[in-house]
């Protein structure tokens, strides 16, 4: 990384670090959904800039964001971590798919509230994956175009 104080990489790392602190604070305050959202924002702040798309282009999906992140930083991360980091981006998509409720159908017999709640363990895993990704980027630097 360059040592210039106004370098965009430095600004992105500083923003990611602030978001990571907010994620950690939300975790300790038992606001697990907010914790995961801040973790997603942390990793989003580290995404390499994308060439401008058309004005009508939809925002990238969580899967596309995960692919961009891993494409940029795959060399900095062990393979096991890559899967966990992709899971940070897609956490809510996977949660919705796991619940699998379709309107007009009866709720599953099991306690459906469990599917909506985020456990401390799940939030802890997401927080740890985001922290490891941030630390890897801090050590290895941003990819160069």
| pLDDT at residue number 51 | 66
With both helix axes pointing from N to C terminus, report the angle between 8-28 and 120-140 in degrees, rounded to the nearest 10: 160
Cα-flanking dihedrals φ and ψ of residue 102, to 5°?
-115, 135
DSSP class of 52: P
Q: For the beta carbon of residue 135, count every other beta carbon within 10 angstroms.
A: 12
**How far is residue 74's CA from residue 60's CA, in Å, rounded to a whole number?**
19
Residues 89-94: contacts with CB under 8 Å, at least 24 apart: 89/40, 89/43, 89/62, 89/63, 89/65, 90/62, 90/63, 90/66, 91/36, 91/40, 91/122, 91/126, 92/36, 92/62, 93/62, 93/63
And the tokens for 50? 């994308």
Tell me how far CA of residue 116 lies from CA of 71, 96, 104, 105, in angstroms. 31, 8, 18, 17
| pLDDT at residue number 95 | 80
Q: Which of 39-48, 49-58, 103-112, 123-132 has the lowest mean pLDDT?
A: 103-112
134 has pLDDT over 60: yes
pTM of the complete model beyond 0.85: no
Q: What is the mean pLDDT of residues 43-72?
A: 83
**How far is residue 119's CA from residue 106's CA, in Å, rounded to a whole number?**
25
For 141, the 3-state DSSP assignment is coil
| pLDDT at residue number 5 | 40
pLDDT top residue among 9 and 125: 125
Give me the domains of the chain, ranges plus CATH numbers: 8-48+60-140 (1.20.120)
Query: Tens digits of per-residue pLDDT, 76-110?
Result: 887 778 889 999 999 988 887 766 666 776 665 55
Q: What is the mean pLDDT of residues 113-119?
A: 71
- Banded pLDDT at 140 (limits 50, 70, 90): confident
Query: Tens digits of per-residue pLDDT, 5-49?
Result: 444 588 889 999 999 999 999 999 999 999 999 999 999 999 887
pLDDT top residue among 69 and 104: 69
């Amino acid at each position: 990384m360059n040592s210039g104080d106004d370098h965009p990489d430095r600004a992105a790392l500083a923003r990611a670090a602030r978001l990571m602190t907010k994620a950690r604070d939300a975790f300790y305050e038992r606001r697990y959904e907010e914790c995961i959202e801040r973790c997603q924002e942390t990793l989003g702040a580290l995404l390499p800039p994308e060439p401008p798309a058309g004005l009508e282009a939809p925002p990238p999906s969580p899967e596309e964001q995960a692919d961009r992140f891993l494409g940029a930083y795959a060399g900095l991360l062990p393979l096991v971590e890559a899967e966990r980091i992709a899971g940070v981006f897609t956490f809510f998509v996977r949660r919705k798919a796991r619940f699998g409720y379709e309107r007009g159908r009866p709720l599953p017999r099991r306690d459906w509230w469990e599917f909506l709640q985020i456990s401390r363990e799940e939030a802890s895993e997401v927080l740890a994956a985001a922290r490891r990704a941030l630390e890897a980027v801090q050590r290895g630097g941003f990819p160069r175009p």
